[in-house]
Amino acid sequence: MYGMLFSLKSFVSKISPLDTKEGFLYYKTSKYALHYFETPSGLKFILNTDVNAQNVRELLQQIYSQVYVEYVVKNPVCNMKEPIKSELFRSKLDAFIKQSNVFVSRPM
Amino acid sequence: MADEVLFELLHSELVSYVLKNSEKDKKHGDLSTLEYVGFSAGYRIIERLTKEWPRFKDELDTMKFICTDFWSSINKKQIDNLRTNHQGVYVLQDNAFRFLTRLSAGRQYLEMAPKYVAFTCGLIRGALSNLGINSMVTAEVQSMPACKFHIQVQRI
């Protein structure tokens, strides 16, 4: 997945006629949309959503500042290079997504 | 503004540094250095914090000071519960101990909890020592982020 996103990112920056401020934001297919957010420190956040989701970039930014930084960066046990095993991070992330208005449980 | 985070990050690094050093020459799990660092810090900080305060009437008064002003100037909150048996044993309970709130909520990483409370145990012991009370401070963590500090006053 990393290779695909890296190529997409460089492709978008080359093909764009104007100078891009933010670069690659998301791609949409008929079934899902993949949203991408990169921080200045090189961390990449990827979220797969429904085709109709709005304001996901803001959501990703909030997840970074309110959940990731709080419960992973400030956690002395979490090593930056390993996958995150903290249960607290998982539950806080879950709670955060559920109370955001991007998450809507709609009967299919 | 940023100083709360700074202290927390510094404390995490202090813990990992002390443990890495003790792994090299001494035995595993040696927290006495950490406790001593806390002791010196507590000893000196109490001098500064109680600059303008009158002398404490008795031991219980001193404990109440530790629970309210001392704890809030260091951790920005007060101790949630103070219990005593009036025979020199005090239990201070903090339901959201600042160095444990980011670790986990419940039982995960429980075995790592003692490392992160050792400094604060020393801090309390140092503060009490400079106020004239010799004691032994231990901590008990059953479920994070709540933490209980047991203080046993040593009377000669």
Query: Given this model, what pLDDT does residue A40 score?
Result: 86
Model pLDDT for residues B37-88, shown as the tens digit of each residue: 999 999 999 988 888 888 888 888 888 888 888 888 888 889 999 999 888 8
A70, A74, A86 member nearest B104 (Cβ): A86
pLDDT above 70 (res B94): yes
B16–A74 C-beta distance less than 8 A: no
CATH value at residue B54: 3.30.1380.20
**Cβ atoms B142, B135 nearer than 8 A:** no
This complex has an ipTM of 0.72
Tokens 């890495």: give the residue: B20
A70 interaction partners in chain B (CB closer than 8 Å): 102
Query: Given this model, what pLDDT does residue B28 score?
Result: 60
With bands split at pLDDT 50, 70 and 90, how would you rate the model's confidence at B126?
Answer: very high
Query: Given this model, what pLDDT does residue B27 score?
Result: 61
Query: Given this model, what pLDDT does residue A106 score?
Result: 53
- CATH number 3.30.1330.100 is the correct assignment for the domain at A1-99: no
Percent of chain A with pLDDT over 90: 0
Determine the distance from the C-alpha atom of residue A5 to the mean position of all C-alpha atoms in its chain, rounded to a whole number: 12
Structure tokens at A7: 């190529």
Alpha-carbon gap: B147 to the closest alpha carbon of chain A (Å): 17
Residue B3 lies in a domain: no
The verdict on B112 touching A (C-beta cutoff 8 Å) is yes
Percent of chain B with pLDDT over 70: 95
Q: What is the pTM of this model?
A: 0.81
Residue B27 lies in a domain: no
* Arithmetic mean of pLDDT, A78-97: 85
Query: Given this model, what pLDDT does residue B43 score?
Result: 93
pLDDT above 80 (res A107): no
Residue B10 lies in a domain: no
The verdict on B129 touching A (C-beta cutoff 8 Å) is no
A74, A87, A91 member nearest B102 (Cβ): A74
**Cβ atoms A34, A65 nearer than 8 A:** no
pLDDT above 50 (res A108): no
Measured CA distances, B88 to A100, B42, B83, B117, B146 (Å) = 50, 20, 11, 22, 23
Model pLDDT for residues A8-19, shown as the tens digit of each residue: 888 888 888 777
User: Which residue, among B151, B137, B130, has the nearest Cα to B87 in the 3D structure?
Assistant: B151
Range of the structural domain that residue B91 is part of: 32-153
For B109, list phi and psi in degrees, rounded to 5: 60, 25
Spell B25-35 as b/e; 16+ CB within 10 A means b. eeeeebbebbb
The verdict on B105 touching A (C-beta cutoff 8 Å) is yes
Beta bridge partners of B150: B91, B138
Count of structural domains, chain B: 1
Model pLDDT for residues A8-50, shown as the tens digit of each residue: 888 888 888 777 677 788 888 888 888 888 888 888 888 888 8
How far apart are alpha carbons A52 and A34 in whole angstroms? 12
Q: Give the start-to-end residue ranges of the domains of chain A.
A: 1-99
The verdict on A82 touching B (C-beta cutoff 8 Å) is no
Residues 6+ apart with CB under 8 A from B24: none
